[in-house]
Structure 1
């Protein structure tokens, strides 16, 4: 349940997707005015779950004046405004193999242009660690904008499992402010015997859901739908040992040609382990052939609802669209709990 908005901190969520950051900031006690995204098919998921405004903008075509027009309540209240953004990360993702320049490469710079126009009190940015690789000028250019606008900032690659998310998910986080000197807070979770809270596991997140078969849905749980499997892939998952098994247990006739003679990439077609955190979820997180996305014991890939739970969305957060679209909304989201932790940090420091 959302905490009461005890202070007057308001926010706008850029590149909002299905609303992971918005939900997390709201849970932290920040009033999110709305979200902005280039994809119009996200509107229903975003608005029906968050009960605020979805604006269909391509950030490359707008300026600060457009933001003031859509959200007139921010004018004169910029000192209480947080702009959050998770620019699409495909240009810098480890999953990207193409050598051509990606069309979304400069979206963080475009976001920086909006920051210069609006000058909000605080910023929260999330992206993939690849943004820090040597040779990428995008992060450097964005930090120059922050310097020019007199922001203090800190940035760090964090792992979501350290913040209560049942998933290994390394992300670059930037917090900036005109009113306090940020320091990325450490997570409160860690391995057993670390002196921290134990990691939240796959078991903790998805054991509660009713069993279903590949291609089935459970009407009692929204989005608890598992992808169909052809006969060969059904045979493969049945041959994969429960609780963390992978393709190394298969007989030779089940091995794909591209895997023969190779020992790497064993996550593909693998099962998650009950008492570990999940691997990083992607836009194809409900597909057996795209990662270690097999259910720990049922003969299927994880359902869309189970994927959402691993991203720390509550069960009453319902996703709309076809299954491909929903998988993207879930896999591309900032985990709700991660956004909540950083939202709480910014909110607590904004009171000082």
Structure 2
């Protein structure tokens, strides 16, 4: 009793601790759409995933799931997901789960009907509506927002046309990108599933998406692991031979000889393994029909129809019509029959104890056999439409081993736990402990896995249609090997010859050790070198330069070709562009608008085609608060005179956009504006842009404070509509300290000078002439130019308006850190061409300014 009380106390204290930390441990759960007989669900069920909802059109298939206890009965939803009832039932169960568990659903798996997409279906009609069931799945994912989504379908799946939610017909790949691309990173690949755990041959398109905020996992981490499939003999060779139609094995009615028209037996009886009935020399032994006493030969539409399957090969693909001789690869290697249900179950990895109907336990009784006849077609169709169990189980296992163990939730928002034992090699590289000195000396901060994945995926996209061509890739800043590991994942599907270099010899030694075993690369070389000092002619063979170049600044070296810029990342960009047709880098977000990147921005915009800009916000580095972007650039002059499109994705704003490159990278402006829209353009047209220049000095700070002297003006002293706001934290400096600043400001050209908070998300200005007795510190920027009295009044009011706030946030690309009012960003402090409505300005107290 005492022990029980102590355990109860410990549990209560643990509960209090969890509540105090506002942290919830992750659970594994899933939703299955178009779940058929629950075969694909078995993999998740056996990996202890909780079924939130499983939806299927046909009641007899839902009944199979109920019998096998795939989920609680109320979670088995029978009906058409295009109808409000079943659709809302899935959403209702999801909301109930989220409210109770304080976390989202882990995964949604969808296998919408594929007949309209399959090359094996020669009777296609108007399948657009059927294919558009994919869109209903996408809508569920949008509403549920699972951590992971999975689509499995026929190879043509992603290229098949569907009717989008907006009523426009487009390929399924584009629909997924349009509707889910803002929230997920996904990857799609056509796989031969027999190489990935399936006991039988099955070529399928597999698409896996990971939510943007699950940065420690990539879609390729969750793909099924490679595994050699058994030969058919190993799989079913132990089952009894069946020679008579209707015969079944003792104590197993699922292993029975399905009867067919006896006249067809002669067509297959003499076939050896691998032969088709169409190969028979005797016309009467070839598939035919009799019309008015004449033999009419059947047309051989598929080469594997009426074909006897070999023993010593991987089991054939299980098709929906696996019940007839005329279908593909359905004939047993020795017996004159199609494969039995038991054999098909093994080909799909379904365990022997799976129950298909209530009477199944009545082994070989008359009632049992009659029930089997009733259910046989449904069972066979369920098996033909399913995902092999080992494949879904591998995916579920990967989620359970490399995603959820490191996941906690706070207010349903995912947080990555800090642990010492990571699951994947990519995670081990990303979260490698780096000594502080190395971080300082080499700017060594390593990229989150999903961020690296997103950059590499887009960089390799141009090679998707020719994946066998060897791509020469250079990674110029190896670091802990995050990009090497990411490229290694893609090298399973692309032929990649990778050279990775790093200036740090110790890092190179560690990377060589980690990659000393087998990899997916066609070739891998890791060496110690300074990318900027390497002979450019030796590097010119590369198709792609990809990675995360070092951030920070170093003293300029005018004698060096590539070290004239102080920004390290600019040095890497310039050299990479000089040697490669394509670069894909993770870079400081300041490259979009900071003045010290303006020259390289102009170079990129005028000489290359920018394909992708990915705004990662602060998602890129696990330990530091730096805003970054991904930049994918094609260095091909042939494309410069053609219409160019730029794809933009934002992690913090969860949006995607594609439009003309010249619009977002407008060279009339000193910055790139990736969130530009019609409202921004309308405001810009109403302003006289470029009216000011800017000056700022950081010599004044609180360390110079004195009890009596010259008042210091800080950003928080600047109120709405040009007001001066007192603040309890104000201070003064001596006249001696203030004098050089005041003198410098007086020398600034122009009659109009204004103070603006330098790093504020809430822009506003104050005329400096109102406080000539004061001196600004580094938190204020001085804007100077020449305005009329009316223009000045209008500018001060407009600078505090909600309209300008929205406009300026877009001009700053919604940055939260790199928004110093420098010679580029000052361009956007426009003067209204007409005096704005003063009532539109905002009036807030000084304490709200940060």
- TM-score normalised to the size of structure 1? 0.87
Indicate how the Cα distance of structure 1 residues 116 and 261 shifts in structure 2: closer, same or farther if over 3 A, else same. closer
Counterpart Cα distance in 2 of 1:103 and 1:343: 30
Shift of 1:280: 1.7
1:9-66: CA deviation from partner (whole Å, max 9, x where unpaired): 1111111001122101122332234411111111221111234132103111138642
Pick one of 381, 390, 397 that aligns with 1:337: 390
Please state whether the residue corresponding to 2:190 is helix, strand or coil. strand
Corresponding position of 1:95: 120
Counterpart Cα distance in 2 of 1:336 and 1:130: 22
Indicate how the Cα distance of structure 1 residues 250 and 229 shifts in structure 2: closer, same or farther if over 3 A, else same. farther
Pick one of 41, 60, 63 that aligns with 1:22: 41
Shift of 1:79: 3.1
Counterpart Cα distance in 1 of 2:91 and 2:158: 32
Please state whether the residue corresponding to 1:18 is helix, strand or coil. coil
Counterpart Cα distance in 2 of 1:8 and 1:94: 39
Corresponding position of 1:57: 79
Greater Cα shift, 131-140 or 166-175: 131-140
Shift of 1:186: 6.2
Counterpart Cα distance in 2 of 1:77 and 1:209: 49
Counterpart Cα distance in 1 of 2:298 and 2:332: 26
Corresponding position of 1:291: 328
1:133 counterpart = 2:159: yes
1:166 counterpart = 2:199: yes
Corresponding position of 1:3: none
Counterpart Cα distance in 1 of 2:105 and 2:92: 18
Corresponding position of 1:41: 60
1:67 counterpart = 2:86: no
Corresponding position of 1:208: 238
Q: Is the 8 A contact 1:74 1:81 kept in 2?
A: no
Aligned length: 337
1:13 counterpart = 2:39: no
Greater Cα shift, 88-97 or 76-85: 76-85
Indicate how the Cα distance of structure 1 residues 295 and 261 shifts in structure 2: closer, same or farther if over 3 A, else same. closer
1:270 counterpart = 2:323: no
Please state whether the residue corresponding to 1:91 is helix, strand or coil. coil
Corresponding position of 1:31: 50
Corresponding position of 1:327: 380
CA RMSD between the two structures = 2.5
Indicate how the Cα distance of structure 1 residues 7 and 235 shifts in structure 2: closer, same or farther if over 3 A, else same. farther
Corresponding position of 2:269: 238
Unpaired segments ≥5 residues, structure 1: 1-5, 190-197
Indicate how the Cα distance of structure 1 residues 263 and 67 shifts in structure 2: closer, same or farther if over 3 A, else same. closer
Pick one of 208, 212, 223 that aligns with 1:175: 208
Q: Counting strand residues as a fraction of each chain, which structure ranks higher? A: 2
Counterpart Cα distance in 1 of 2:55 and 2:284: 49
Indicate how the Cα distance of structure 1 residues 112 and 267 shifts in structure 2: closer, same or farther if over 3 A, else same. same
1:185 counterpart = 2:223: yes
Shift of 1:219: 4.9
Corresponding position of 1:193: none
1:227 counterpart = 2:253: no
Indicate how the Cα distance of structure 1 residues 46 and 344 shifts in structure 2: closer, same or farther if over 3 A, else same. same
Q: Is the 8 A contact 1:234 1:299 kept in 2?
A: yes
1:187-227: CA deviation from partner (whole Å, max 9, x where unpaired): 423xxxxxxxx431211221122222332223512522332
1:144 counterpart = 2:169: no
Q: Is the 8 A contact 2:45 2:70 kept in 1?
A: no
Q: Is the 8 A contact 2:55 2:79 kept in 1?
A: yes
Shift of 1:264: 6.7
Corresponding position of 2:145: 119
Counterpart Cα distance in 2 of 1:224 and 1:102: 38
Counterpart Cα distance in 1 of 2:249 and 2:304: 27
Indicate how the Cα distance of structure 1 residues 120 and 158 shifts in structure 2: closer, same or farther if over 3 A, else same. same
Shift of 1:165: 1.7
Q: Is the 8 A contact 1:64 1:118 kept in 2?
A: no
Q: Is the 8 A contact 2:109 2:149 kept in 1?
A: yes
Q: Is the 8 A contact 1:165 1:200 kept in 2?
A: no
Q: Is the 8 A contact 2:197 2:226 kept in 1?
A: yes
Please state whether the residue corresponding to 2:156 is helix, strand or coil. helix
- TM-score normalised to the size of structure 2? 0.38
Counterpart Cα distance in 2 of 1:118 and 1:265: 41
Please state whether the residue corresponding to 2:256 is helix, strand or coil. coil
Please state whether the residue corresponding to 1:50 is helix, strand or coil. coil
Please state whether the residue corresponding to 1:173 is helix, strand or coil. strand
Segments of 4+ moved more than 6 angstroms:
261-264
Q: Is the 8 A contact 2:117 2:160 kept in 1?
A: no
Shift of 1:293: 0.7
1:115-151: CA deviation from partner (whole Å, max 9, x where unpaired): 1111111112111111133765223112221113x11
Unpaired segments ≥5 residues, structure 2: 1-24, 162-169, 290-295, 358-373, 407-850
Counterpart Cα distance in 2 of 1:236 and 1:165: 31
